[in-house]
């Protein structure tokens, strides 16, 4: 509901003070009920229950539905339910949620239920709600790993809301541009709302050509970072910094680059974990009554594909006996043990290590899913970026050769970190902390096994992602990757990192079949951070070359 004079103000709900929340809810309840009475009194006698999509009431009811299900504060949940009941008593149809929890890939019963979280998680939930004005589905999936989630939320809050070179509405618009490159309507919808909330011009949302020229100029960097970061040169940077009246400052550009890479990688997480639409966003709720089977064909038009999502894999297509799955885990652990023994016995020469890297880089080009197909950007999302045909391309396709990026020559630790911190204080530190938590995070478990050193496996995943981007670590034996990552896992990794919009539940189910969902989410944290760092390395190296 738009906030016109005398209307709903939602901001007070984010307060940590219960009295302030209660006062805000009373005001919201009065405004919503007044609007509902007006809608009900204007309806014909034979029209009950009245559709709520009149005069902005539907948006307010969807927001209340979200609060009744997803707010970490019990008082807000209960009061929101009471307001919805009051509206229903007036003969107004109220919404119901669609879908089954925060992820289409993870059964709801296996995620953390709001209202049943422990004290540590409640603190995180309350912090997230106070910062974002909602407890979003990304948070509810990431909370499998509270240490990482805390670092993620702190970084995102700083990028979007704390003092920085870019105005607030620019930050959200850049988030929209970045998420749209991967057709991630989930993130686009969230940031459209946030963009308008901080005073952004609605006309900009009609298409990138309606935004200021300065933001339009960022489109080229956005598409290269998202799909082919190895093509970024100092000339691209110079073009942005030296464009007369629409030029970017170095500090602004660093802020923009960090935002772009943050949302490209968050789109990977969103698709990789099958994040569901938010309850109050399109596709997250419906005003239609449930059918006898609790699934109505009309829901399809609202973005809910419940039958398809729940039974995405035909019976037997990826079924595997638990014995086979256990054997897969045992075999992986045995390979890790053998590789460690080989490391201790002999070390490959530098020439051999270089050869193995080139082989792995070349082979990664041919890893693709049988489900791989071109997907057209939807109209509502594609208008937020230009050149919709520009997508991921492997390095050496069509005879194009890109030199290997040697981390020994330009690394995050020795070069990127200090450049970001110098031009956008504290952000280098926040990113560095987030990278380290994701890379080093371990519970020393693998499926049903405990006291396992997983560092070799985590390094293989991280380095495989960087290898796909042409980034090489001289001290790493890339022969280990083929030993530890099987084809179905490589297909999943490459899809989530390079073309996340093509990720399917079948791909998610196909790898590491005996592992916990929390372990698969952990994999996604590695994919997110390795991808973000790879994009940053190419962009920051180009900026450094421009500066020197």
pLDDT tens over the chain, length 548 residues: 344 434 567 878 888 888 998 999 999 999 999 888 888 887 655 555 666 555 578 889 999 999 999 999 999 999 999 999 999 998 888 999 987 799 999 999 999 889 888 998 999 999 889 888 889 999 999 999 999 999 999 999 999 999 999 999 999 999 999 999 999 999 999 999 899 989 999 999 999 999 999 999 999 999 999 999 999 999 999 999 987 789 999 999 999 999 999 999 999 999 999 999 999 988 899 888 776 454 443 343 344 444 334 333 333 334 455 556 568 888 999 898 888 887 766 677 777 777 777 777 777 766 775 554 444 444 466 566 555 555 666 555 555 566 789 999 999 999 999 999 999 999 999 999 999 999 999 999 998 899 999 999 999 999 999 999 999 999 999 999 999 999 899 999 999 999 999 999 999 999 999 999 999 999 999 999 999 999 999 999 999 999 98
Domain ranges of the chain: 10-96, 326-370+379-547
Looking at residue 475, what DSSP letter applies? T
Tokens of 525: 């944290």
CA 342 – CA 337 distance, rounded (Å)? 9
Active site residues: 184
Tokens of 342: 């080989």
Write out the DSSP string of 318-385.
S---HHHHHHHHHHHHHHHHHHHHHHHH----HHHHHHHHHHHHHHHTT---TT----PPPHHHHTTS
Cis amide bond preceding 49, omega within 30: yes
CA angle 198, 417, 129 (to 5 degrees): 35
- pTM, two decimal places: 0.87
CA 506 – CA 258 distance, rounded (Å)? 32
């Amino acid at each position: 509901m738009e906030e016109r004079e005398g209307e709903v103000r939602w901001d007070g709900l984010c307060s940590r003070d219960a009295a302030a929340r209660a006062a805000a809810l009373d005001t919201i309840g009065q405004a919503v009920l007044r609007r509902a009475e007006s809608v009900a009194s204007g309806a014909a006698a034979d029209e009950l229950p009245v559709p709520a999509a009149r005069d902005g009431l539907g948006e307010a009811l969807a927001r209340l539905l979200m609060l009744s299900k997803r707010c970490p504060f019990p008082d807000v949940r209960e009061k929101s339910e009471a307001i919805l009941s009051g509206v229903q008593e007036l003969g107004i149809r109220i919404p119901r949620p669609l879908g089954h929890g925060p992820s289409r890939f993870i059964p709801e019963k296996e995620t953390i239920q709001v209202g049943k979280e422990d004290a540590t998680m409640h603190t995180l939930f309350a912090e997230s709600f106070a910062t974002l004005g909602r407890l979003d589905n990304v948070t509810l999936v990431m909370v499998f790993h509270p240490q990482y989630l805390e670092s993620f939320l702190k970084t995102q809050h700083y990028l979007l809301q704390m003092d920085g070179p870019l105005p607030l509405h620019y930050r959200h618009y850049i988030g929209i541009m970045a998420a749209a490159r991967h057709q991630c309507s989930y993130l686009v919808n969230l940031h459209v709302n946030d963009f308008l909330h901080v005073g952004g011009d609605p006309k900009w949302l009609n298409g990138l050509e309606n935004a200021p020229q300065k933001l339009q100029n960022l489109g080229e960097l956005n598409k290269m970072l998202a799909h082919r970061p190895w093509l970024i040169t100092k000339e691209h940077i110079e073009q942005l910094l030296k464009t007369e009246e629409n030029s970017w400052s170095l500090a602004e550009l660093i802020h923009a680059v960090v935002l772009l890479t943050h949302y490209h990688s968050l789109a990977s997480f969103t698709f990789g974990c099958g994040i569901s639409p938010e309850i109050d966003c399109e596709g997250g709720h419906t005003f239609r009554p449930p059918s006898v089977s609790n699934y109505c064909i009309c829901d399809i038009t609202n973005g809910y594909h419940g039958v398809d999502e729940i039974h995405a894999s035909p019976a037997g297509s990826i079924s595997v006996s638990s014995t086979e799955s256990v054997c897969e885990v045992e075999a992986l652990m045995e390979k890790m043990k053998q590789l460690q023994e080989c490391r201790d016995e002999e070390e490959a020469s530098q020439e051999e290590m270089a050869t193995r890297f080139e082989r792995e880089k070349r082979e990664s080009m041919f890893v693709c899913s049988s489900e791989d197909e071109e997907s057209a950007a939807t109209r509502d999302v594609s208008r937020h970026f230009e050149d919709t045909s520009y997508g991921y391309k492997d390095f050496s396709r069509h005879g194009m050769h890109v030199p290997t990026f040697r981390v020994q020559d330009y690394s995050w630790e020795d070069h990127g970190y200090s450049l970001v911190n110098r031009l956008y204080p504290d952000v280098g530190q926040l990113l560095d902390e987030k990278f380290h938590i994701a890379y080093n995070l371990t519970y020393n478990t693998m499926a049903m096994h405990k006291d396992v050193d997983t560092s070799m496996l985590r390094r293989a995943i991280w380095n495989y992602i960087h290898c796909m981007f042409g980034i090489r670590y001289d001290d790493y034996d890339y022969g280990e990757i083929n030993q530890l990552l099987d084809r179905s896992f490589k297909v999943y990794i490459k899809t989530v990192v390079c073309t996340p919009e093509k990720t399917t539940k079948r791909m998610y189910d196909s790898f590491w079949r005996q592992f916990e969902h929390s372990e698969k989410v952990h994999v996604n944290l590695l994919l997110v951070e390795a991808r973000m760092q790879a994009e940053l390395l190419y962009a920051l190296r180009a900026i450094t070359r421009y500066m020197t």
